[in-house]
Amino acid sequence: MVEPGRLVDRVAELSRLKTLWESGQPGLAVVYGRRRVGKTRLILEWLRGRRHAYYQAGLWPGNLRALAEAVAEQLGLEALRGAEPRSLRGLFELLSALLGGERAAVVIDEFTYWLRVEPGVVSELQYVVDHVLPGTRLLVVISGSTVGLMQREVLGGGAPLYGRAVLRRKLGELEPWCLPPFAPRYGPRELVEAYSLFGGIPFYLRLLDDQAGPLDEFIRLFGPEGVLEDEPLFLMREEFREPSPYLALLRAIARGARGLGEAAQSAGLPTSHASRYLHSLIDLGLVEREPILFRRRGSLYRVADNMLAAWLSIVEPLLPLLRENPGAAMARASALARTHYARVWEKLACRHAVAELAPRHGIAPVEAGRLVHRGEEIDCLIIDHGSGALLAVEAKWSTLDRGEAEAVARKLSDKLARALPARLRGYRRVLAVYAAEAKGGAPPGVELVEAADLPWGRGCR
């Protein structure tokens, strides 16, 4: 378990923020990203020991007065106590005069809540950024968890604050390799399972008890009466006024629909409507296009958020059974989870092959993705046109002995022979089989990679 107060990874983000502080430059810094990803934790770690005031906005009309009180209290400015500012402009004009050139930061966390209650606040903040902050050493830091609202109303083209931030950072999940500090008792296989279920979301990982298995913990937290039981639906309601069609589309993709038409049909939506919903889900980072080589049209999709994909494909279908017969539900959940793990393992295998395995064989990835051609499918194909070489990957979420690994590699070679475009058939070939675990060593001429070979802990502090 991660000890309380420890910030895992985020080295690059902290470095950028520290550089901004040390520059003395005034202005607006924006940190945004999905709920639970660690925005507040990052900001407060950055400002520890530096003069700042922190305020978390809410869905109420008194944010301006509450912000003034927080600034007065935390910065020790007696002249601000009891002040009744009429606008954000008035508050920051007074604050800049009181600070007198001193370096300080004012953090408005969950700024989008304030924006929902008072849409005009973003224009007020624009005035502050343009006309009050220049000539001071004051930073205004805003964060937001409603990604769509931040992109549309705060940062996007035409929005009042477009192009005005001196620092803008969308905070993503932790790398999968950063999970070991959260679950030191887990072995490599369990770490892959935990990542498949919880993703790289620090808040979820801190709640994980690694004395139990990852699936047991996921259902304990996200299942009936779990502390995060409402989390998936809350995430959707935060982003969408009417979440039902978006949720239906996510559900279809999480349960195996891959193309737009298939997902629309499964979700009961007209394809034209589903296309619009799908683009919104992609913009928010909830769905991603799967890289498919040599495919000119008809993209394939997958749910990018592991927690949502796991909840929709494992927990939601079993909710009645989990309430009535938890033992029987867990047996069903284990079977569903294996399918989910296999999908995430394919993605991790391709990622590892691109970053680690290909360079080891002198292959500089120019193209990488799934190959779907002539009825054949290869999990990942990495192509280096410069040297005329390719690396083909088959990922199996199972334990393979030497004979089984050799059979998988032989089948992979046969698929390559049938599916490769003619122009690539003379390329040097490297075959790789990724397995959850391997026994008996690698077959001749085949790279055999297991979960234990992934770079757990590398680059994470």
Q: CA–CA separation, 369 vs 292, rounded Å? A: 5
- What is this structure's pTM? 0.94
Considering the domain architecture, whether residues 162 and 200 belong to the same structural domain is answered as no
Final residue belonging to a domain, choices 170, 205, 235: 170
354-407 residue pLDDT tens: 999 999 999 999 999 999 987 899 999 999 999 999 999 999 999 999 999 999
Considering the domain architecture, whether residues 218 and 302 belong to the same structural domain is answered as yes
Considering the domain architecture, whether residues 315 and 423 belong to the same structural domain is answered as no
94-106 residue pLDDT tens: 999 999 999 999 9
| Amino acid 296: pLDDT | 76
Instruction: Tell me whether residue 287 is in a domain.
Output: yes
| Amino acid 319: pLDDT | 97
Considering the domain architecture, whether residues 322 and 424 belong to the same structural domain is answered as no
Q: What is the dihedral of CA 199, 32, 233, 215, to 10 degrees?
A: 10
3-state secondary structure of 441: coil
Q: What is the CATH number of the domain that holds 64?
A: 3.40.50.300
Final residue belonging to a domain, choices 170, 194, 209: 170
Considering the domain architecture, whether residues 15 and 112 belong to the same structural domain is answered as yes
Instruction: Tell me whether residue 94 is in a domain.
Output: yes
| Amino acid 1: pLDDT | 63
Q: At what angle do helices 244-254 and 271-283 cross, to 10 degrees?
A: 80
| Amino acid 452: pLDDT | 97
Alpha helices, DSSP H, located in 199-325: 202-206, 214-222, 231-239, 244-254, 260-267, 271-283, 306-310, 319-324
Number of domains the chain is built from: 3
Regions of the chain short of the pLDDT cut 50: none
Instruction: Tell me whether residue 461 is in a domain.
Output: no
Considering the domain architecture, whether residues 22 and 157 belong to the same structural domain is answered as yes
| Amino acid 260: pLDDT | 95
Instruction: Tell me whether residue 1 is in a domain.
Output: no
Instruction: Tell me whether residue 4 is in a domain.
Output: no
Considering the domain architecture, whether residues 41 and 133 belong to the same structural domain is answered as yes
| Amino acid 83: pLDDT | 80
Q: CA–CA separation, 426 vs 409, rounded Å? A: 19
Q: What is the CATH number of the domain that holds 412?
A: 3.40.1350
Final residue belonging to a domain, choices 324, 343, 362: 343
**Domain residues for 289?**
177-343
Considering the domain architecture, whether residues 182 and 330 belong to the same structural domain is answered as yes
Considering the domain architecture, whether residues 325 and 197 belong to the same structural domain is answered as yes
